[in-house]
Each structure stands twice: as structure tokens, then as C-alpha cells.
Amino acid sequence: MLHGDVKRGFWRGFRDGVPFIMVAVPFATMFGVVSVDAGLNVIETLAFSVVVIAGSAQFTALQLMTEQAPTIVVLASALMVNLRMAMYSASITPHLGALPIWKRACVAYMLIDQTYACSSLDYEKNPDQSVHEKLAYFFGVCVPMVPLWYLFTLVGAWVGTAIPAEMGLDFVLPIAFISMIAPALRTGPHRLAALVATVTALCFAGLPYNIGLVVASLAGMMAGAEWERRLTKEATA
């Protein structure tokens, strides 16, 4: 039987995670559809979501796979997209770092944008929580989202097999990226990073194997980080 505070933490996390269903369901479905259109079967599509569980990296890898990019380029690009997870991990370690390694492994697996954002805010608002309460909150956020990511990836794959190949679904990927990126452009550093990455990608579009995307990712991250550094320096001056 869970302790009362731990239970309350779990259900508070569950409540905070429920709104993200509106994001997880359509994107998982879309990923399933475009994966089948790209040539993956239903089992491969589901395995992709279960193993990677990172929407932006999955769409990035899938786009490059459809363009026949070398495996090393696909992996490097997906890792670039997911570099923010290293920062999430460093940020959340002071709160959950005391857990046994198997629990930390579960947290690492489910550490995505939504679980990190909700958890970091909750931990700041409730600094006196025990590590078990914090873990319960984290998993509470995961429960309404993660299983649905798997399920609707499967639904999208099944739907995708019913769509005639001649219809084409190439337009879905850029739309997906636009809808993922637009809400994130909240601050100056975010907007600068997006602008620099876009311009750099266009300038280096002629590089073989889509290496220009890797260059653009690095340029965008460096530009955004530098502006963020300057803002922080000014704020503490």
C-alpha cells in the first residue's frame, strides 16, 4: 500500500499529464502512418516507438531513412535532436539521483519533454517532497501518455496500411515538424536558434547525405546557447 503523500503525488502527476494526451495521440498516430508509408511494417513501427520513445528524433530519423541517408547520418541527426535530454537529465538528477539504479533507468527511459517540464515545475513548487513522492509524481505524468504513445503508433500503422501508396504522405512530415517547433519558439534564444538552423540548413543543402542538417543543428544550438548565456550574464550583472 502506497503512503498517502506518495499517492497524492502520483495522482497530481497524472492530472498534470492528462492534457498532453491531446499532443501524444495525434503525433503517435501520424508517426505510425508515415512509418508505414516509408516502408516499415507494423511491428517495426511499434518497435521504433517503444525503443526510442522520442517523437522529434523518430520523425527526424524517419525522414532521413526515406531519403536513403547513411545509417551514421541517421543516428547522428537523431542524437543531435535529442541532445536536450542530457540537459534534462542533469537538471533532474538532484531530485531523483538518490534512487536505485533500476529506478533511475526507468526515469531515463521516460524522460521526455512533457515529463521533464511537469516534474521540474512541480519539484520547484513543492521542494519539501521526499524522493519517493517526486518519483511518484514523475510516473504519474507518464501513465496517461506513454501507453497511448505506443497504442496510437500501432493504430497509425494499421491505418497507414489501408492508405493506397499512390496517395503519398510526404507532406505530413514537414507539417508535423512545424507543429512541433512552433509552440517551442517562446523566447529570443529559441527563435534565434530556429532562424540560424533554418538559414544554415538552406546554405548547406548541397552537402551529401543530408550532412547539412547536422551542421544546421549544431549552428542553431550554439547560437541559442550563446544568446542564453549573454542574457544570463546580463541578469546576474
- How confident is the prediction along the chain (237 residues), in pLDDT tens digits per residue? 456 778 888 999 999 999 888 888 888 888 888 888 778 888 999 999 999 888 878 888 887 888 777 888 888 878 877 877 887 888 899 999 999 999 999 999 999 888 888 898 899 888 889 999 999 999 999 999 899 999 999 998 988 777 665 555 556 556 656 655 666 677 788 888 889 988 998 999 888 766 787 788 788 888 888 888 888 888 776
Which residues have C-beta within 8 Å of that of residue 99, sequence separation ≥ 6?
107, 131, 135
Q: The whole model's pTM is what?
A: 0.73
Per-residue pLDDT, 1: 41
Residue 104 contacts residue 97 (beta carbons within 8 Å): yes
Per-residue pLDDT, 183: 63
Per-residue pLDDT, 39: 83
Q: Nearest to residue 217, comparing CAs of 35, 207, 28, 38? A: 207
Report the alpha-carbon distance of residue 134 to residue 219 in Å, rounded.
36
Per-residue pLDDT, 196: 92
